[in-house]
Amino acid sequence: MEISQILAGAAICTILIWLGFVSFKAHFRHVFFLTKPNDIEIVIPYQIRLCRLIGGFFMIILALMLAFAMIYLEEPAQHLADLRDHSEESKTKLIYTAEQLNFATRYALFWISFLIVLLLLVTTSSMDAIFSWQYQKQLRESIAALKAFDLKGENSAERRTKNNQTSSINQQFGNEN
């Protein structure tokens, strides 16, 4: 493996572990009710926090799987690929040993499991996006309802006082409109 491949793989693993850890740590206490959230933290609904916690866990798993592949699987896989290329160039039939076939099976299963974990991460992120979209829609509807009741610019106590004064004046002078 070349130095550029090692550096790129290490950078990807580092970024994934950092993002996963930050996401996991930020939502762990709230999902498992270990702390009482303050007024600002209570805004994020439980489903969104759970999706982000699970997503952080999947990111950490993916980073560890990539690191494992770079350290333990890359060299034997490259050796098998070189054997195959050499047999194709020399036009000979390559016969794999039982150990090589066993490794090839484990290698394929590893990457299939990697893709499954990646699919789970994408699914969790999609669910997070859907829950966030629904929550934002709910907030927009609540704000629109507040604006419809004109609660934004006027205190409700002042409005009640003004309405009471108007109705008492109308009763005194007989104004029905």
CA dihedral angle for residue 30, residue 32, residue 34, residue 37, rounded to 10 degrees: 20
Is residue 98 domain-resident?
yes
Domain assignment present for residue 176? The answer is no
Checking if the pLDDT of 102 tops 90, the result is yes
Q: Which domain holds residue 145?
A: 3-171
Per-residue model confidence (pLDDT) at position 125 = 93
Number of domains within the chain: 1
Burial class (CB in 10 A: 0-12, 13-18, 19+), 27: buried
Q: Is the model's pLDDT at 169 over the cut of 70?
A: no
Name the band, by pLDDT with cuts 50, 70 and 90, for residue 39. Answer: low
pLDDT attached to residue 143: 82
pLDDT in tens, 115-147: 999 999 999 999 999 988 988 888 888 888 888
Residue 118 has a pLDDT of 96
pLDDT of residue 164 exceeding 80: no
Average pLDDT, the chain: 82
Q: Mean pLDDT over residues 9-33, rounded?
A: 85
Q: Biggest alpha carbon distance in the chain?
A: 111
